[in-house]
Structure 1
Amino acid sequence: MSIDAIIGVDIGTSSSKGVLVTLDGTVLSSASRSHVPERPREGWVEMSAELWWSEFVSIARELVDAAARAEAVIVSVGVSGMGPCVLVTDAAGTPLRPAILYGIDTRATRQIAELTLELGGDAAIMARTGSALSTQAVGPKLAWLSENEPEIFARSRRLFMPSSWLAWHLTGEYLLDHHSASQCTPLYDAGSHSWYEPWAAPIIGPIDLPSLCWPGDVAGQVSPAAAAESGLPAGIPVIAGTIDAWSEAVSVGAQRTGDLMLMYGTTMFLVNTVPQPVTAVGLWGTVGAFPGTHNLAGGMATSGAITGWLRDLLGEGDFPELLGLAAASGPGARGLLMLPYFAGERTPIQDPDARGIIAGLTISHTAGDLYRAALEATAFGVRHNIEAMRAAGGSIERIVAVGGGAQGDLWTQIVSDVTGLPQVLPSVLIGASYGAAFFAALAVTKADIDSWNPAAAVRQPNLALAAEYDELYALYRELYPATRDISHALAARQGRSGDITTQTSTPPPRSSNQKANSV
């Protein structure tokens, strides 16, 4: 006797992941494909959209085969992906260049400053959109494209992110979910839930912005062509989907007021659900994944990326071995302190020219000490973001951990020890692809995420370490302003060596009749 099942697929920074799930949330099979973003110049991070689709097809075919073995019938498909990204295509949907990734791509610092002045400053932009302009914003990257690749910009007709790109490939429908649109600052009006033409039109130029829907809405049905390529049944519903961190929050039920989702991945992401819109310089105010919900969000530019870099650099073997060495190092990493700004930093300092610092090194320090310092650095960054959220008016009553990095004990324990806050560990830590599957389930049945993914454990802080970590955190907060000027000077040198000028000084305002996308 066959059972009904759904597929969820997420396109992430370092891998694409998919799950085959029954309508009660049981995971029947999973699949993943690893990839590495392209970094053609200092501060640039890109990825091929063709890779997104080819990995989706490969994962879908593997999960379709798994469904056949399990005698499962696939009845719906959900998608999600990293973002906000900038993928421009021609009118036929053919990519014109690799996609420019989210806030880890810092190329548009000059355009951020220019647009901020032109649109009336941070306060005016936040009042309309929920967020100030930053490296996370889509608008400045489109302005960069207009100024630096005008031939490509002139041919651009459509704007995609990974989730909408997959939905378009599967259904032929050109749309974007409201949450992703709310990160297209300053193109979207968070109050009216619509594109804001007075600001969008001068920036988007020839691009026709997509229709808007909610992440759980049905985008369309799998077309015969997409079915032939992917192996999926033709005619089944495809969910619009959203940005991966919000799909992660859905996957663990962190959508109630006061919830904070903490995503342990290549980057660290925080999503706090708030009762009404909250704005703050240094953080991102967005609409939520469900109608009527609001979020205050933060994101670190690197977290798991640092631990991966250390593993490759040190040649010390696999992650379990390094975690054992870090545990042996002990709290405080034997006197090491790290700033985790290895790709600049997003929230709350919003400084693309910040750089990683390792302070206190001696010849007696070991690989385990360095790895421990990296884990503690991300924990200090989480604490900094949580303090900024609370100062802005965010309400944090429950923290829920998710993502690959949450599967071990040490990292989550360090974060709880540093913040002094417990974390709920759900039964399923898969993350965004599981959230995409849950959205897909909602299209065909009534589903409840609490029954899908109940809590498995709670990570409690070790209060005996509070004083030590308070002292180290105070030093962490002092280290960035003490080294900022040096880091900026070094970032400028790195920019010159990469044949790209990093400009962070405030430019003169443009005349009122000059378009934002002028060359």
Structure 2
Amino acid sequence: MLLIGVDIGTSSTKGVLVDESGRIIASHLVFHSVNRPQPTWAEQDADQVWWGGFVAVVRSLMSQAPKRSKIAGIGVSGTCPTLLPVDYNGKPLRPGILYSIDRRAIEEINEINSKVGPKEILESSGNVLSTQCIGPKMLWLMRHEPQLYKRTKWFLGTNGYVVLRLTGVACWDHFSAGDGGYGYDFSNCKWDVDALNRMGIDFSLLPQLRWSTELVGTVISDAARETGLPEGTPVIAGVGDAAAEMVSTGVIEDGSLVLLYGSSLVTMSSVRKPYVSSGFILTPGLEPDNYFVSSVLGTGCALIEWLRNVLNWNDRVPDYDLLENEAMLVKPGSNDLIIIPYLTGQRSPEVNPNMFGAILGINQSHTFGHLYRASLEGMAFALRYSLSKLEKAGLLKDYEIVAGGGGSKSELWTQIVTNVCRREQKLISGSVQAPIGSAFLAGKAVGIFSSENLKKWVTYQKTIRVQKNMADIYDHSYGLFMKYLGLLAQNI
């Protein structure tokens, strides 16, 4: 009994074939790109990239499946929220519009905010209106591509389109719909018809909502011929890539926290009661009466790459080992050098797109080792600021941090975060993989796995413990960080 999990990401599609014990039998990856026909646009061809990548990955996995094995279920995750109009035959009418990196609908965002009001938008959807939202992009299509809009039968997301191709059933999973913002009623977990009407959007263009582990159908004959999958194989609704990544860490219990050290520094927590705050992202969870609350620091590993490029000399970019070694010679607190890490604006725990990065307290004693360490510390301070809000709201009490992602390979950075936040971190062995999360969800849907099984799938390479003497030093530095941040906010 094998399970297939596939994740359609921004730059690649990855898939795994998993057995009943959670062991990966086979894996495959194909790369793709993002099209930018206009500077503020970000699109992908749904047939070539989403479906084509899925077919290539699944065919490879099926060729590696042991003889006499059976595919018990299929789970698909993908970038979210994305927007793809399809016609009455399920054919894409244009390339899919990607998530927040597509900024074409700024005018529509401002118009909806002005007409409805940011407070009402936040209260009804649990999120602020931003380039992440699908409503303004639907409105943009109505205005700029009206003939296409008239031919649209449904708007679908990334995994929703693949599920349609596999089963013939059109749906949105609740997580992706909620991540799409205004137009989804988080209190009742349904499409918000009133909100859609206020934006001028036809409610019938959005198909049924399904929970991530719901079986929506089975593989139809056309899809079986293209993919090599057995006809009749069960298919779940699937989920957005961030939620699938969270599942792959083994953390799905209430009050737990996942920290992903990627280009952005992202936290996700599973909670029973919704937490509405403009500085956090609220989405439905995987099942009814469950929610995810996320914080985002736009520059995680991206800040490190920026600093490496700044320190570039004669086309020689300093490598990570050099930076880490130099930073380890610097005492905690970096001699009161404070770096404010909001190079792309502030998203959590407050929304301030006009906030900027800053280097404060610099003097002639500071070296590039100080700069690098202060960058790691600045991101840790920003994380502590977000976590303090969640703690005060009662969402996090006695908790530990489960961490993964490329940046978690840095022993220095993870120790700094542990000391600054005064929370132990468990580092996941291997990489965080959304396809594994999707495979688990498929297994849960068909009755092979339970939440207890998931804990056995995940192994940890080490636990980072709090060094109290260092943590005490960082309390002083965190105070400086908050002081400087407050002064900057007053002068924007």
Contact 1:67-1:74 within 8 A present in 2 as well? no
Q: Which residue of 1 aligns with 2:218?
A: 221
Q: CA deviation at 1:385?
A: 1.9
Report how far residue 473 of structure 1 moved: 3.2
Distance 1:149 1:474 in 2: 51
What SS does structure 2 have at the residue aligned with 1:127?
helix
Alignment correspondent of 1:25: 22
Q: What is the Cα deviation at residue 231 of structure 1? A: 3.1
Summarize deviations over 1:364-394 as a string: whole Å, max 9, x none.
Answer: 9776655544443432332222123234442
Aligned to 2:54: 56
Q: 1 CA distance for matches of 2:41 and 2:368?
A: 29
User: Residue 355 and residue 38 in structure 1: after superposition, are their counterparts in 2 closer, same or farther (change >3 A)?
Assistant: farther
Give the Cα–Cα distance (whole angstroms) in 1 for the partners of residues 139 and 279 of structure 2. Answer: 21
SS of 1:246's partner is: helix
In structure 2, the residue matched to 1:469 is 474
Please name the residue that 1:9 is paired with. 6
Change (3 A) 1:404 1:188: same
User: CA–CA distance in 2 between the matches of 1:342 and 1:227?
Assistant: 47
TM-score (norm 2): 0.84
Kindly state the Cα deviation for residue 61 of structure 1 after the two structures are TM-superposed.
Answer: 2.7
Indicate which of 169, 172, 180 corresponds to 1:184: 180
Q: Does 1:385 align with 2:403?
A: no
* Number of aligned residues: 482
Alignment partner of 1:139 is 2:140: no
Specify the alignment match of 1:453 in structure 2.
458
Correspondence 1:436-515 to 2 at 5 A: 436-447=438-449, 448-480=453-485, 482-483=487-488
Residue 158 of structure 1, CA deviation? 2.4
Matches within 5 A, 1:228-247: 228-247=225-244
TM-score of the aligned structures, taking structure 1 as reference length: 0.80
Cα distance in 2 for partners of 1:373, 1:192 equals: 44
Tell me how far 1:445 sits from its aligned partner.
Answer: 3.3
| 2:277 maps to 1:280 | yes
Match of 1:201, as an amino acid? Answer: N
Matched, 1:65 2:67: no
Equivalent residue for 1:504?
A: none
Q: 1:127 aligns with which of 120, 123, 131?
A: 123
Kept in 2: contact 1:86–1:159 (CA 8 A): yes
Matched, 1:74 2:71: yes
- Describe the shift of the 1:281–1:331 C-alpha distance in structure 2 as closer, same or farther (beyond 3 A): same
What is residue 86 of structure 1 aligned with on the other side? 83
Which secondary structure state, in structure 1, belongs to the residue aligned with residue 128 of structure 2? coil
User: CA offset at residue 467 of structure 1?
Assistant: 3.9
Go from structure 1 to structure 2 and tell me whether the alpha carbon gap of 1:19 and 1:115 turns closer, same or farther (over 3 Å shift). same
Cross-structure match for 1:301: 298
SS at match of 2:27: strand
Provide the C-alpha distance between the structure 2 equivalents of 1:108 and 1:346, rounded to a whole number of angstroms: 19
Mapped to 2, the partners of 1:425 and 1:311 lie a distance apart of 25
Q: Deviations over 1:180-235 (max 9, x none)?
A: 22222221122222111111134363561021110011232223333333333332
Q: 1:267 to 1:87 in 2, by over 3 A?
A: farther
Residue 153 and residue 375 in structure 1: after superposition, are their counterparts in 2 closer, same or farther (change >3 A)?
farther
The 3 A distance-change label for structure 1 pair 442 and 310 is same
1:201 aligns with 2:202: no
C-alpha separation in 2, matches of 1:355 and 1:481: 12
| Compared CA separation, residues 259 and 220, structure 1 to 2 (3 A) | same
Q: Is the 8 A contact 1:272 1:297 kept in 2?
A: yes
Deviations 1:339-374 (A, max 9, x none): 433444432232344444455678997766555444
Q: Deviations over 1:109-129 (max 9, x none)?
A: 44334323433541x333332
Answer whether contact 1:14 1:266 (CA < 8 A) is retained: no
1:141 offset after TM fit, Å? 3.1
1:492 aligns with none
What is the distance in 2 between the residues matched to 1:58 and 1:15?
Answer: 12
The equivalent of 1:401 in structure 2 is 403
Instruction: State the partner residue of 1:349.
Output: 350
- The answer to whether the Cα contact below 8 Å between 1:424 and 1:457 also exists between their aligned partners in 2 is yes
Label 1:336 to 1:226 Cα distance change in 2 as closer, same or farther (>3 A).
farther
C-alpha offsets along residues 464-493 of structure 1, whole Å, 9 cap, x if unaligned?
22244334434444555555699x8xxxxx
Counterpart amino acid of residue 21 in structure 2: D
CA offsets 1:4-24 (integer angstroms, 9 cap, x no match): 221211123344322221111
Give the match's secondary structure for 1:415: helix
Residues 336, 477 of structure 2: 8 Å contact kept: no
8 Å Cα contact 2:402-2:427 kept in structure 1? yes
User: 2:420 maps to which residue?
Assistant: 418
- CA distance in 1 between counterparts of 2:467 and 2:136 reads 43
Whole-Å Cα distance in 1 between the matches of residues 32 and 359 of structure 2? 28
CA–CA distance in structure 1, aligned partners of residues 34 and 382 of structure 2: 23
- Call closer, same or farther: CA 1:39–1:221 in 2, change over 3 Å: same
CA distance in 1, matches of 2:289, 2:369: 46
Alignment gaps of 5+ in structure 1 = 489-519
- Taking a change above 3 Å as real, the CA distance of residues 459 and 307 of structure 1, as seen in their structure-2 partners, is same
**What SS does the aligned partner of 2:295 have?**
strand
Q: Distance in 2 between matches of 1:165 and 1:346?
A: 29
Name the counterpart of 1:257.
254
Counterparts of 1:150 and 1:353, CA distance in 2: 34
Q: CA RMSD in A?
A: 3.4
Partner amino acid, structure 1, of 2:61: L
Post-superposition shift, 1:400? 1.8
**More off after superposition, 444-453 vs 241-250:** 444-453
Pick closer, same or farther for the CA change 1:194–1:460 going to 2, 3 Å.
same
Kept in 1, the 8 Å contact 2:156–2:206? The answer is no
1:62, 1:6 → 2: CA distance?
14
